[in-house]
């Protein structure tokens, strides 16, 4: 086999589905997400798997420490990184949306809107293009709390089932964009390890139907 090939996988919800998909394709057999190990070596296929925080997948791939990775498109949009998007994987479907309290659903264009989000860069660009003045309230999680306690007027976040919004008396004001999981590649790896990457894409393509 040729030199070791590295794949960055996200921890958590998206990572669990990604791993099932890889395993259905005959890969990542020895990766155990419930272990505390962060690196798994598949010697027979000469593939190294790294388990990282979802948003960090893009950093490992952009820097070339990982050749390819799996990440939600939300992370790609936020990072604005210099990587290739190779393939839509058909899972992790959700969407970016503006949400707020049910009885406070109007966005006044002439007022500065306070927006809480884990996606400050994406949010800034979105509202700039809309000509809406905003103040970003950057948060790292539980963004839904911000409008409830008066920290923000609205939130920009990813919504899957809508259950979290509903449980907190929030509603979608404006859907922004559908997103799903993507296979991404380092630019140089795509050039120099093209055959291996195409092979993995073919394997993942074959298992698409069975796993979505």
The one segment of 35-43, 97-105, 108-116, 157-165 that binds ligand AMP by CB under 6 A: 157-165
Neighbours of 96 (CB within 10 A): 23
Sign of the alpha-carbon torsion through 104, 107, 111, 117: positive
Bin 86: left if φ > 0, else alpha if -120 < ψ < 50, else beta: alpha
* C-alpha to C-alpha distance for 51 and 35, rounded to whole angstroms: 10
Q: Indicate the pairing of strand 134-138 with strand 47-52.
A: unpaired
Residue of 1, 13, 175, 178 that binds ligand AMP (CB under 6 A): 13
* C-alpha to C-alpha distance for 185 and 35, rounded to whole angstroms: 26
Q: Is 100 in the site for ligand AMP (CB under 6 A)?
A: no
Closer residue to ligand AMP in complex, CB, 105/145? 145
- E strand or H helix at 13: helix 13-24
CB of 141 to ligand AMP, least distance (A): 7
CB of 10 to ligand AMP, least distance (A): 9
Q: Is 170 in the site for ligand AMP (CB under 6 A)?
A: no
Q: Is 161 in the site for ligand AMP (CB under 6 A)?
A: yes
How many chain residues touch ligand AMP (CB under 6 A)? 13
Binding footprint of ligand AMP on the chain (CB under 6 A): 13-14, 72, 92, 94, 157-164
């Amino acid at each position: 086999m040729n030199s070791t090939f590295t794949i960055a996988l996200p921890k958590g919800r998206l990572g669990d589905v990604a791993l099932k998909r890889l395993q259905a394709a005959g890969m990542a057999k020895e990766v155990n997400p419930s272990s505390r190990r962060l690196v798994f070596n598949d010697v027979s296929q000469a593939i190294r798997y790294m388990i990282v925080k979802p948003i960090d997948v893009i950093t490992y791939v952009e820097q070339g420490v990982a050749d390819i990775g799996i990440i939600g498109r939300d992370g790609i949009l936020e990072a604005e990184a210099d990587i290739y998007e190779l393939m839509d994987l058909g899972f992790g479907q959700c969407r970016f949306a503006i949400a707020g309290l049910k009885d406070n659903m109007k966005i006044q264009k002439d007022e500065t809107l306070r927006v809480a989000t884990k996606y400050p860069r994406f949010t800034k660009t979105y509202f700039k293009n809309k000509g809406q003045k905003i103040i970003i309230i950057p948060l790292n999680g539980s963004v839904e709390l911000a409008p409830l306690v008066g920290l923000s007027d609205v939130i920009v976040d990813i919504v899957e089932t809508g259950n979290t919004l509903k449980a907190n008396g929030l509603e979608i004001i404006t859907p922004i964009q559908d997103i799903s999981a993507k296979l991404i590649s380092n630019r140089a790896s795509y050039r120099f390890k093209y055959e291996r990457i195409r092979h993995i894409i073919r394997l993942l393509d074959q298992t698409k139907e069975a796993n979505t």
